[in-house]
């Protein structure tokens, strides 16, 4: 009898151990890790940090739990270094991470994509990378930011032509050439298709600024179009204005941040932008988000905070309807998602269509051009 009882106790003990093992294993399986790779330091951080804040806010609303699974966010700074970026992405893969948010710049996104596109069960989504080079490709890359295709610029180029700006001088940031030169080239295509002319010159933000001033004075453009981050765009604008360049200046949405006005000061007045975002939107969802963002960070949300939040809400919705390895399949099935200011509609290649408006800096604020 004693031997039988010992066997029973031993069996019970083994069953309990097995139960504990499976319970612990189950708990481990219930964690969904999401990796973020992007610029969190130096001059491109005015994109990366607001994005990170918007993403955090969205997952805080879910208490970092979706369908009983714990969400763990892992933020990594790519330092705008290709080798650092590769190491981060490969580390994500080694950890079994299937969802990657990134990058802040198209140059770095290209590096991440070159690795992630080899893994069909992974999903990469960006809030900022807009190079048209990524368009029309069936891969693992998606974005909530509109690509730099010629059609995306039509409202902007029509506005430029309407205001008699015929001769355009383009300036781009060579540090993110996959996006910046692509932006100017596709703007030029749209400009020509709507009755404009070829750009009179392309220059870079890292060129000698005195040479830039001399060239602008000799070529006498009607419009200077700058595609650069807010720091470099501010530096170039300030210098041109200080050298008494009175030519109208336009800039890409990349520079349309609070930091641009802060860094450029009085010289920001009159600069025009074209963007799929309105900081004065009265959309109820946007107003609710803005209020939460201000309460959480004591800051006004920027375009990139807004898009980081939208991107995170899309991931949340997809995780609620399927497994983390099925995000691509489910996104292409759903296609339409509620944005903060409009509906975000994905095509079969992961690109989106959104509404653009033109803005001008008036009295230190971005105001929509009627």
Q: What is the pLDDT of residues 235-271, one digit of tens each?
A: 999 999 999 999 999 999 999 998 999 999 999 999 9
Q: In the predicted model, what is the mean pLDDT of residues 119-133? A: 96
Reading across the β-sheet that carries 31-38, which strands appear in turn?
65-66, 69-77, 31-38, 99-102, 123-126, 141-143
Q: Is the pLDDT of residue 28 over 60?
A: no
Helical axes 45-61 vs 284-297, angle rounded to 10°:
100
Q: How far apart (Å, rounded) are the C-alpha atoms in residues 300 and 20?
A: 48
Average pLDDT score over residue span 93-121:
97
Q: Is the pLDDT of residue 228 over 90?
A: yes
When pLDDT is averaged across residues 111-132 and rounded to a whole number, the result is 97
pLDDT at 1 over 80: no
Q: Which residue has the higher pLDDT, 90 or 21?
A: 90
Helices 327-334/303-321 angle, 10° precision? 100
Taking residues 77-84, report their average pLDDT: 96
Neighbouring C-beta atoms of residue 267, cutoff 10 Å: 18
Q: Coil, strand, or helix at residue 87? A: helix
**Residue carrying the six token digits 């708990």:** 27
Does pLDDT of 20 surpass 70? Answer: no
Please give the helix or strand (H or E) that residue 248 lies within, else none: strand 248-251
Q: Show the domains of the chain with their CATH numbers.
A: 28-146+282-353 (3.40.50.2300), 150-275 (3.40.50.2300)
**Tens digits of residue pLDDT in 302-345:** 999 999 999 999 999 999 999 999 999 999 999 999 999 999 99
pLDDT over 60 at 25, yes or no:
no
Mean pLDDT of the chain: 93
Give pLDDT tens digits for 52-72. Answer: 999 999 999 999 999 999 999
Q: Supply the pLDDT for residue 354.
A: 87
Residue 13 has pLDDT above 90, yes or no: no
């Amino acid at each position: 009898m004693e031997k039988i009882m010992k066997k029973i106790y031993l069996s019970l003990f083994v069953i309990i151990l097995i139960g504990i093992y499976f319970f612990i294993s189950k708990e481990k399986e219930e964690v969904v890790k999401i990796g973020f790779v992007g610029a969190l330091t130096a001059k491109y951080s005015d994109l990366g940090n607001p994005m990170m804040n918007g993403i955090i806010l969205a997952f805080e609303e879910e208490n970092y739990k979706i369908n009983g699974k714990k969400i763990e966010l892992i933020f990594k700074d790519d330092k705008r270094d290709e080798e650092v970026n590769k190491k981060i992405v490969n580390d994500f893969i080694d950890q079994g991470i299937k969802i990657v948010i990134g990058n802040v710049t198209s140059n770095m996104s290209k590096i991440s994509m070159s690795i992630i596109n080899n893994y069909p069960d992974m999903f990469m989504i960006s809030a900022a990378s807009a190079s048209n080079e990524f368009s029309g490709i069936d891969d693992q890359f998606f974005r909530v930011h509109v690509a730099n295709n010629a059609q995306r610029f039509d409202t902007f180029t029509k506005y430029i032509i309407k205001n008699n700006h015929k001769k355009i001088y383009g300036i781009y940031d060579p540090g993110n050439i996959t996006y910046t030169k692509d932006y100017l080239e596709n703007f030029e295509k749209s400009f020509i298709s709507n009755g404009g002319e070829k750009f009179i010159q392309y220059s870079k933000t890292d060129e000698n600024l005195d040479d830039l001033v001399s060239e602008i004075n000799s070529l006498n453009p009607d419009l200077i179009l700058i595609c650069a981050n807010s720091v470099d765009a501010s530096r170039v604008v300030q210098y041109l204005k200080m050298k008494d360049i009175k030519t109208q200046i336009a800039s890409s949405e990349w520079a349309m941040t609070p930091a641009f006005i802060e860094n450029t000061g009085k010289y920001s007045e009159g600069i025009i932008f074209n963007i799929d975002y309105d900081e004065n939107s009265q959309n109820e969802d946007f107003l609710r988000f803005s209020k939460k963002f201000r309460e959480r960070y004591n800051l006004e949300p920027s375009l990139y905070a807004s898009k980081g939040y939208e991107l995170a809400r899309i991931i949340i919705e997809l995780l609620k309807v399927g497994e983390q390895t099925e995000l691509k399949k489910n996104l292409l099935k759903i296609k339409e998602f509620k944005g903060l200011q409009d509906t975000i509609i994905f095509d079969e290649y992961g690109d989106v269509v959104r509404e653009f408006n033109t803005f001008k800096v008036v009295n230190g604020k971005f105001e929509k051009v009627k």
